[in-house]
Structure 1
Amino acid sequence: MLEDSLGHLYIGTKGGLHKQDIQTGKIIIYTTKNGLPSDDVSGMQKDDEGNIWISTSNGLSKFSPKDSVFTNYDVRDGLMTQTFDLYLNKTDNMGNIIFGGRTGLAFFNPRDIKNSEYLPRVYLTDFKLFNQSVPVGRQSILKKHISMAEQITLTHKQTVFSFHFTALNYTLPEKNQFAYKLENFDVAWVNIGNKREVSYTNLNAGDYVFRVRASNNDGIWNKQGTSIKLKILPPFWKTWWFRISLFVFIVSASIAFYRYRVNALKRQKEKLEKEVAARTADLMEANTELEERQQEIEMQAEEISAQRDTLVEQKDMLEIKNTEVSAAYNKIKVLSSFGQKITSTLNIESINNMIYEYVASLMDTSAFGIGLYNEEKQVIEFARFMEEGKTTPFFVKALTQENSLSVRCFKNKEEIVIRHLSEEYKKYSNKLPDYQTSNMPESMIHLPLIIENRVIGTLTVNSFKVDAYSENDINNLRSLASYISIALDNANVYKIINDQNHHIKSSIDYAQNIQKAILPPKEIMDKYFDSFILFRPKDIVSGDFYWFAPINESTCLLAAIDCTGHGVQVPL
């Protein structure tokens, strides 16, 4: 067991070299398939450069943790033995490594071992089809030797072929290693040890590139290697020109068959027409009258059919019109009923509630409000503005607010219908208009409330959705606006009259209290003589009054004063 400087733990087993990442716990197993000389690992030591030296039953190996590459050494490299099956391994303070085997020890310093830096050249030596070498020639697949060829072209029938190759390295050439890759077929490089040939069978038609590279006896790779292009032609029935030709042939054959069939039918028709003409020639005179009668009947039938069709069309149109009239009548009836209901209501708050509930039942009312014009303050007052069914605080729009659509609607007597505010606002202003809701509405309707060519306020309906209102919704609001104008004007007039009546009543009550205060009580008069008072003014407060004052014990002054025509304020 051994740990490297990169945080990996190495364990040698009889099943290869196991590398575990200490932090993640991930394990990688290296075997002879990855370049290890033997799966039977007996010892490990680490040198000064971080490489791990491994003793196996088939020689020694140097493993580079950085690139996971094995460099193997055996008796051909000067080892006394090939087998290191004793668990004897040591590193002294000079950096020398000792591995023990049954027949001796291997003692060396890794710094003294220099790898060959020679990169062996790689050459293709042969190309075989169905295990037979392909000769070079004009009529052959190979026009020149395989080592100089740039491309090989095969037909779809040439399904079994192989490449042979070698590496020019004469120092222990049997230790040369090879790897190959067929682009567009092999996903990754395939290591094949010192094997020098590769075979393929039944490849799909297409373009490929065969690449092969080799290492020298010390495992130094010539990664450039050599390559050759390979083109496998598809069978003719898979080529584009064949498919186009087949399509053209099928279309042409279909057209030809169609024309043949049409001509045959024409000839058959002409033949039948001639036979019919020949057989009916003798009956023409006898049938002339019948034909004329038949034509007359047919014309009458056509007229009757046309009249029937006309009647059916008229009936359908009448039914459609009747449906439209009925729907319009119902709409007008409902609207008229609601209009009568609100115009008979004289309380503005009740009118607002009724209108909101009615409009909310017809369309989206994310925001709804009725603004009334206050002429004295020159503002539009929104006493009850609704957002998502909740009443917002009272607010006003001054007629000087140029960026308010309610103000624009009021001042210009203009209907404003916006289906997508973020795109259409530039029709009305250089910047987004003011809105009272917590979020920006997208669909907006502003209608002026007009009565006798006098604008008394505005109706506002908003939705947070794009294009939320149909033309039918807008027409409903237009019709409703007339009733709203009348109802609000009636309510306003009623409020004015009610306020005036309250003011008059207050004045009368005040005058009556004053009058009662100045009229002498009957109890005082009863102290001096028997009396009764008959005081019945025409109005609640009259200018007529009586007055009593005692002069002395035997003399009293009693006066009845007529001030009719001088108004309520006379007793004051």
Structure 2
Amino acid sequence: VYLTEISIYDKPYQGKIATPYLQKLDLSYKENYLRFKFVGLNYLTPYKTHYLYKLEGLDHDWQRADSRTNFALYHNLSGGHYTFKVKATSDDGSILSRIREVEVYIAPPFWETLWFRLLVAVLIALIGYGYYRIKVNAMRRRQQQLEQTVAERTEELRSRNEMLHEERKKLQQKALQTTLLYEASKQISSQLELNHLLAEVVDLTQKTFRFHNVMIFMYEGGALRLKAIAGAMTKEFKKGFAIPLGKGLIGLAGEKLEEQVSNNVDEDPRYYKAFEEETRAELAVPIKMGNELIAVLDLQSDRYNAFGEDDIKIMKTFSSQIATAINNARLYLQAQQELKMRKKTEAELRQSNVDLEKAKRATDDILENVD
């Protein structure tokens, strides 16, 4: 049997070797529509010639053909190795020729090659890994966002708790200071001797509010003179130490009749440093009756930022009570002096009456003797 023609998409194959002698056929993946035409040499009864053929790699059994359909058609062949076999038989099934074979190799398309599949597998793995990393990173970012949110909320709650704690502490301190101020006010209101009153004021203020140093300067003769001191600087400041109006925070408080505060005296040009002191903050509060200056209450702390708005309000209230107590002490002193003067006048009047009575008696005696 002979192969007379091999067609690819109905076009005869044109190779270097003639089709009858062709042993091997190499094709691309696009050349996968084949037709093999064959003929058996039977000169006596050619119309009785039959054929058996198959394409190994595709057909499992032999396919039959006769002299009128002496061709085999294969289409959409996948890439790979095939062997086309054909043989001629007679009516009684006897073999008329040896088997004619042609090896056929159809190169697979690039997407069916091993390297492409490996590349696709690698790409799929990379895509999968990339997707996994994206998901992991997204989860990590989400976790970080949640952790950040939790941290922010925790910090917010902590700040609020601290603020509430500070507010509660301030309220407790204010309540305590108010109570102590009330007790101190009661004590000084019962003291009518001026020097004792001033000493008690600075002592109670220093112990109640735990200031570093507390002083009272009385306004006398156009200047502020130290009359009482309590705290850590009693050795440096002596009674009678004078500060002119307008000098330092004390002098400014007396001159302007307004409280003067500095929470950092190191950087405050108003601060008057008379001695080597440990003062870091100072509050000077005028003690006045209306617009009349009586004295200045000076409070000093060894801590920066020691005086807040509440401290200033409390000290202003306390200074008003001190002013009332000082005024009462002065009125008491004036009353005592007036009483003393009255008693002295009454004693002198009584003595004058006694002397007058004696003089009258002496005069009467003289007149009797004359008669």
TM-score between the two structures when normalised by the length of structure 1: 0.33
- Structure with more relative contact order (C-alpha pairs < 8 Å, separation 6 or more): 2
TM-score between the two structures when normalised by the length of structure 2: 0.49
Structure showing the higher helix proportion among its residues: 2
